[in-house]
Chain A
């Protein structure tokens, strides 16, 4: 594209981007790639050039091959009992260094505030006595667990891993949609997507510096080890999975593999004397840090659901006694309750004394009378979500709902106002996405992942971009026809990651010799070569 006449560029891309501008205008959303006049934004220029060099046959054969690779590698999610490859679109989502800087700081700020909030909620609850959040909202949260009240987790961290979902509204401003501080999933797709894209669209990589994502497992392991109970020199870390039938099982195996730690199920663990052990061929081995990938409710039948076969009895007491670190801490769900979410900007001001860097989406609290009245009046134009739902479960989009659905919803809202929040329908931003034989605008969100090791919150550059593959759909969840995109954060300048240590091997070769001197008396013939 450098210096290429515009007409020529357009003609080479015309078949793939045909009608894109019309479709993009129809959505009324902010398009990540093209400004309204159909000129690529500067972050997408290189990508546009790379795509322009491909024709439909190239693009679809590469898309096929990426899907096949995913199936071969087992990058699947469980859909109605069937393993499906997680759809990866060939057009990545690109974030400029400047935008990322804001997102990174905003996510880290949020994590620090939620960490402080959780510490407070399970001790003095000064946030309630100081009138920032009503006490009843905290105590009525389904995920507020009195079982873990009154102790500091070993290692001092509660939100080791978090996924903060952000979206761009119609004006192009990033806003936080929800916080996930229990068991945020999806990071395995970030790692796999990058691998697949490096091979599927190599043209776009050499043109610009893209920040790597592969250090995530090492960062995670190092954070988990640093938060081990005090006095353990060489902590043993395990990943606790519900088992092979879990929809995110692939992610559990990938993370355990990339960290080089055991992937355990509840039945592999045993608690004795407030310590946790795993059964191995060499007898019982002490476990110091558990990266928990199961819901709190199933973790410990002594404390939570007694019919759970997935957890291990005694884990919560072991954590209380400081014998084991559980990551993320039990009881974190109170912080990602969607009603609490609406208070997070206040929490940031209260705990950190800072202004929120990324704003929330405007949210109606149905417990407040005025808000409830307004919501009930405008049900057909709002999105209503249950406060503890995840994966888009139970969510109702007013404009798309039938009158009967709205009527049912209305009754449920009046019955249980604490259980729901309402938000305006956001036209999530769009990115070109391959659909049939051309690119069309599809709505995306973004889940950046943050790892907290107690001293520093590190945000993985990029995160998971989920895309609603159906035209016009705003629901990006994989269980409802969503796919994903590789997310590229452009680096400020190239020379940061590339510079290796100075190479002095040549002088060393002359200097050092540790091998015995060669016995040439026997190798005469060989030396003649």
Chain B
């Protein structure tokens, strides 16, 4: 298939998953944030923005600014509206490849973005709506597209972004909020009930973090998401079945996954920041490696330009 199309599909997967994860984090933390007095709100809002990968541009950055930055700002793909817009833009370029129902779903979502009130109450509804839409995108992706190469690129993007978002959910533990942080982490991932069913009694930060990091059966855990990415990569490049050269993306994803999956430690909470950092870095590196291997027109053009 065309590299350009593959790249679009990969980014549809990433952007939709990013919108989903961001909406989940926002929904849960907005509730906490809203319970804080205004002065604390400001510092927590800034830290949350940091977890999502941006820096506040001024000191007065507070709750309304946070809502704008991670929910409604169309100009940046780090916000929910921005990533859903970008996903739709990518789908527009690959319209003949994605199923018409998937395109329509993304397009409807895009037009629905502006129909929400941007205050706190409206944002709760917005998050709820986004989760419904992204679930629909996920369902249509899996049920209306052949599970061929194009679908694999979509799944690859989705899985990598999911690992990244779960890492961010775990990082919200460090954000100074009221209440028990592990409950928040789990609720972000929609994992609260699943987690409770696996643990009969003792639950605390460590168990929750372990669950989101390493559980082999929960689909939003980092190990699970990385395994999905690994499988997609393996199917995309079937030549790599024996010893010898393995492509960079598979190596990065595989090393990160196996390290986490078989890592045992007595003090997970102390190591957690490093895990999060490494997972996020691995996702970024894998994404770059995938771009180089499959979507590499930009690089080549630059190189050609240099020689001529």
Residues of A within 8 A of B (CB): 62, 65, 198-200, 202-203, 205-206, 209-210, 212, 214-215, 218, 221, 225, 234, 236-237, 257-261, 494, 497-498, 500, 503, 505, 508-509, 512-516, 522-523, 525-526, 529
Contacts and interface: CB of A to CB of B under 8 A. Distances in A.
Given A62-B121, A199-B121, A205-B35, A212 B179 contact: yes
Contacts of B203: 218
Interface of B: 31, 34-38, 40-41, 120-121, 124-125, 174, 176-181, 183, 193, 195-201, 203, 248, 251-252, 255, 259, 263, 265, 270-271, 273-275, 277-278, 284-285, 288-289, 292
Given A202-B34, A503-B176, A515 B278 contact: yes
Contacts of A221: 201
B289 A526 contact: yes
Contacts of A503: 174, 176
Contacts of B289: 526
Contacts of A205: 34-35
Nearest to A257: B193
* Top 10 closest pairs, chain A to chain B, by CB: A260-B196, A526-B285, A202-B120, A199-B124, A498-B178, A202-B34, A205-B35, A260-B197, A526-B288, A505-B273
A500 B36 contact: no
A202 B200 CA distance: 34
B259 A516 contact: yes
Nearest to B33: A206
A218 B198 CA distance: 15
Given A212-B179, A214-B179, A516-B255, 14 more contacts: A65-B125, A206-B35, A260-B197, A260-B200, A494-B37, A497-B178, A497-B179, A498-B36, A503-B176, A514-B263, A522-B251, A523-B285, A526-B288, A526-B289
Given A199-B121, A498-B40, A523-B285, A259 B196 contact: yes
Given A221-B201, A257-B196, A512 B270 contact: yes
A442 to B, nearest CB: 24
Contacts of B270: 508, 512
A257 B192 CA distance: 9
A214 B183 contact: yes
18 contacts: A199-B31, A200-B121, A202-B120, A203-B120, A206-B34, A209-B35, A212-B178, A225-B201, A234-B200, A237-B200, A257-B196, A258-B196, A498-B176, A503-B174, A513-B274, A523-B285, A526-B248, A529-B284
Contacts of A258: 193, 196
A503 B263 CA distance: 24
A65 B41 CA distance: 26
Q: Is the interface of B mostly helix, strand, loop or mixed?
A: helix
A515 B197 CA distance: 30
Contacts of B288: 525-526, 529
A205 B30 CA distance: 12
A525 B292 contact: yes
Contacts of A218: 203
Contacts of B38: 206
A194 to B, nearest CB: 10
A214 B31 CA distance: 13
A301 to B, nearest CB: 30
Contact of B199 (A206, A260, A522): A260
Contacts of B284: 526, 529
Contacts of A237: 200
A215 B183 CA distance: 10
Nearest to A201: B121
A111 B277 CA distance: 50
B206 to A, nearest CB: 13
